[in-house]
Amino acid sequence: MALFNRKSTATPSTPATVAVDPALTALTGEYTIDPAHSSIGFTVRHAMVTNVRGSFGDHEGSLTLDGADPKNSAASIDIKIASVDTGIADRDGHLVSGDFFDAEKFPLMTFRSTQAEQLGGDKYRITGDLTIKDVTRPLAIDLEFNGSATDVYGNERVGFEGSADILRSDWGLTWNAALETGGVMVSDKVKLNFDISAIKAAPQA
């Protein structure tokens, strides 16, 4: 996942010339996702009538950000499946079992970016490879840049949030149960949610 420059401006007479905000250019560099202030979660329809929400508490990742040229930004994220938390221990145990993620055999879910683009304003899209249970498929995540700040400890931070819809069956997550009234217990469609805070690495000597 990546940070991109806010809206750049160009005059009609010189369309090839783009003015870049120096403050945004300064954000360019290597960042580490702060798991204590970030959330990676999901929402899925249950029994056709309500939503179940969960998150993965154990994750780590790195970002390469280019404040002047969005396409040079990149991201790498590793998520430990066993850290899934929906608020009900029995349900979490079912999710990490062989019926769903099979966390013992496939302990990680990973994302590796392949492309980044600006959609307009503070909205961006990052595309990459999402791997679950050794199945790798492309995933596009729509993002909104939330800004940058220096925290009370002197860390330079950037933040963004985003989401993406997937079909879990595309990654081999096919378990389900039929309902007597029609339909199924768990929707195939899952919404992934990202709320990320990342800290800029100190310059190397």
The per-residue pLDDT for 24 is: 62
In this prediction, residue 86 carries a pLDDT of 96
pLDDT at 96: 97
CB atoms within 10 A of CB 151: 12
Q: Which of 194, 28, 197, 3 is nearest to 111 (CA)?
A: 194
Amino acid of residue 99: D
Q: What is the per-residue pLDDT for 48?
A: 79
Of 115, 116, 40, 127, the C-alpha closest to 78 is 40
Backbone angles phi, psi at 189, to 5 degrees: -80, 130
DSSP states along 166-205 = EEGGGGT-----B-TTSSBSEEEEEEEEEEEEEEEPPPP-
22 residue type, one letter: P
Query: Residue 204's beta-bridge partner residues?
Result: none
- Average pLDDT along the chain, 205 residues, taken 10 residues at a time: 40 41 72 96 89 97 88 94 97 96 98 91 91 97 92 93 96 92 90 96 72
Task: Give the model's pLDDT for residue 85.
Answer: 98
